[in-house]
Every structure is written in C-alpha cells, then in structure tokens.
Amino acid sequence: MKKLLFISLLVVLVCSFVLVGCAQPTPSPSPTPSPAPTPQAEPIKLRMSTHAFPPQRYYEAAAKWVDLVQQGTNGAVEIEIFASGQLYQPNNVGDPLMNGDIDFALATPGTFGKLVPAHSLDWIDWGAPTLEGGWQLLQKLCDNPEFMATINEPFEEIGVKLLFYVPNAVMRGPLTIKAPIRTMADFKGPIIYTPAPNVAKLVEALGGTTVFVPTGEVYTAMERGTFDGALSLQELYWAYKLYEKGKYMTDYFYNGGVMPYFVSMKTWNKLPQDVQQVMLDASKEIQDEWFSTQVEFDKLIEKTLLDGGVEIITLTPDEKAKWDAALMKSHEAAAAINPNTQKVWELWKQTKAGQ
C-alpha cells in the first residue's frame, strides 16, 4: 500500500513539473531591425544667369525667389546665381536658355523682342494719370491668367517659360543734360539714348532722334556728350547715377518697367511636378510682393534724383494731350505686329476699362 502511495506521489510531482514548464511565458520575439535610412539623393543643381546686381530690385527678387525654392523643396533643389552678366548678357542669353545651356535667366525686351514682341510691355501705355494707378493696372494685367497664358504660348514654342515679372520702375523722362524738354518741338535736335527698339519708337513718335550704347557705357557716354539725354526706367537713372549728369527730367510716364525671369523648357520638363509647383508658388509670391512695394521704390528714386539736383519738368495739360495722342499711334502700331501682340493689347484695354 505504501509502495502504491509513493508511486502516485511521484507521478503527481512529475506532472506538476511538466505543467509548470508548459506554463512558462513564451519569450518575446526579438524586435525587427528598422530598415536603414535611404541615402538622401543628390540635390538637383541648377544655374541662373542675370545681368542684374545688388541692390537692383530685379536682382533682389531673383535672390529671394531662389531662397523660397530651396526652402520649399527642403534643399532638394540648389540654384546658383551668376550676377552682373558673369555668364551671359541680355543680348546673348536667349539661345543658351532655349538650348538648355542655362536653366534660368533674366531677359530684357531685346532678348526675345523679335521672337515674342508682346512680352516686354514697354510698348503699351501707362494707362493711368498717376503713378499708383498705373502700377495697379499693370499688376491686374500680370495677375490675369489669360494674359500669362497668352504670353507663355509663343515662349513655350521656342523652348522657354515665363515664370514671373519683376516690376522695376516706371519709364519717365527724358532725363536731359543741358536743356529741358517741355514740348514735342523740344525733341527736335537733341539725341536721346534709349535702351531698346520699342523705347526708341516712343521717342521717334514724339519727333526725336535716338542712339543706343551698352547699358554699362551710358554714364561715360553721357559724360562725353555722345547724347543729350536718356529715356529709360527711373531705375537706370538711379542705379547708374545718371542724375549726376542729367539735370532735367520731364514728368511723363510712358509705361511700367517689368523684367521677366524665364526657365528653359528643357530644364522645366525634367523637374518633378512637386518642384514645379514650388517654383510657381514662389513666382506668384515674388511678383505680388514686388508689385506691392513698387510705388514706394519709385518715390525713393525720385527723391534721390531731386536730392542730386534734378529739376522735374511738368507738361501743360494741352501738351500732355499731344504726347498721349502721338504715342497712342506708336502703341497701336506695336499691337498690330501679330495676333499675340493684338491679344495682349485687347487684354490691356479691357484691364483699363475695368478700373
């Protein structure tokens, strides 16, 4: 009997050990190793050519646009700016931009003037009797998607895309050296420097004679007496200190200087869509910001000219009406060049009519 009891206890003990062993918690599985971080791709490196330089507004606009793009892409895009015409000047940047040899570039009316004459906007009128009114109208035009599409259609056909306009300064003058220009009759005799063919046509419509020299040579040419005055954006009078030589500025607004920045379509078509959108958003931000400060900048230039001894010459109402009528013929002739210019002209007239 005792033997049977011993065997029963032994069985119970063995089973207990087995059961306890079976109840042990299952060891936690080893954590799955985190995947190694994907090495960051090399940034997209691009180049921008501009003939502008600090503190010119159209250089500062480009520099801020580059910052916005680099920040908006978290460093996935890096853009190097080559300022002061290090790579190209306005007269020779067109082909490299169309061919994709440079990614972005600042152009002038003369860069693509023969290919897309509508874009420069130096052939349309000011559109308002005041400085503020003219800039407001021009901003409305540039904010119109139909206008931007009209401008960009022929550009994309030749391999470039307009990203944004930088308002730069009103075209005002002429700025003359020896004698003021108060009437159209005063244009007969003096030789006036103009920076582009469209501007030359404005002077010729008023009865004047024009000459062209490279922008960097305008001051010394004025000093030598190569010409008697200049008609350009106020910004040129300020940046190149022409007010040190010119002493009279006729108070007449011709048009608003807007400087276009372009991207090569060969570059654009390679960019991811999210990067393209960042660039478009940055373009809108820059264009809006620069328009919002333009009147203040023009007034600052005027103060600089006045402080430099320039006398502002006011036209009589009758004389101004004569200038308006003569120049309108020039505007209408420019508008008739092709269907693209005609479309821009119609949009401009609609913008003025809706003010």
| Structural domain contains residue 63 | yes
User: What residue numbers bound the domain in which 196 lies?
Assistant: 44-353
pTM here is 0.82
Predicted local distance difference test score (pLDDT) of residue 9: 34
Q: Does 23 fall in a domain?
A: no
| % pLDDT > 90, the chain | 77
Domain presence at residue 60: yes
Confidence of residue 355 (pLDDT cuts 50, 70, 90): low
Please give the tally of structural domains in the chain. Answer: 1
Res 40 pLDDT > 80: no
Q: Tokens at residue 74, please?
A: 């978290």
Q: Is 229 helix (H, G, I), strand (E, B) or coil?
A: strand
Task: Write the CATH number for 187.
Answer: 3.40.190.170
pLDDT tens sequence across 314-331:
999 999 999 999 999 999
pLDDT band at 257 (very low <50, low <70, confident <90, very high): confident
Which residue has tokens 């009891």?
5
Taking 3-state DSSP, the helix, strand and coil percentages for the chain, each rounded to the nearest 5, stand at: 50, 15, 35
What whole-number distance in Å separates Cα of residue 101 and Cα of residue 248?
43
pLDDT above 70: percentage of residues in the chain: 88
The confidence score (pLDDT) of residue 196 equals: 84
Residue 209 lies in a domain: yes
The pLDDT of residue 115: 84
Q: How many residues does the chain have?
A: 355
Query: Quick one: which of 74, 66, 67 has its CA closest to 49?
Result: 66
Q: What mean pLDDT is predicted for residues 217-223?
A: 94
Mean pLDDT for the chain?
A: 88
| Average confidence (pLDDT) over 99-116 | 88
The amino acid present at 305, given as its one-letter code, is L
When mean pLDDT is compared across 26-30, 106-110, 129-133, 258-262, the lowest value belongs to: 26-30
* C-beta neighbour count of 266 within 10 angstroms: 15
Greatest alpha-carbon span in the chain: 145
The pLDDT, as a whole number, for residue 92 is 92
pLDDT tens-place string over residues 55-87: 889 899 999 999 999 999 999 999 999 999 999
What are 311's strand-pairing partners? 248
Give me the residues paired with residue 169 across strands: 257
What is the C-alpha end-to-end distance of the chain, expressed in Å?
Answer: 119
Report if residue 58 sits inside a domain.
Answer: yes
Domain membership of residue 35 (yes or no) is: no
d(CA 93, CA 85): 9
Q: Kind of pairing, strands 104-106 and 253-264?
A: antiparallel
Which neighbouring-strand residues pair with 250? 313
Quick check: is 192 in a domain? yes
List, for residues 172-195, the tens digit of each pLDDT value.
999 999 999 999 999 999 999 998
225: left (phi over 0), alpha (psi -120 to 50) or beta: left
Residue 68 within any structural domain of the chain: yes
pLDDT at 18: 35
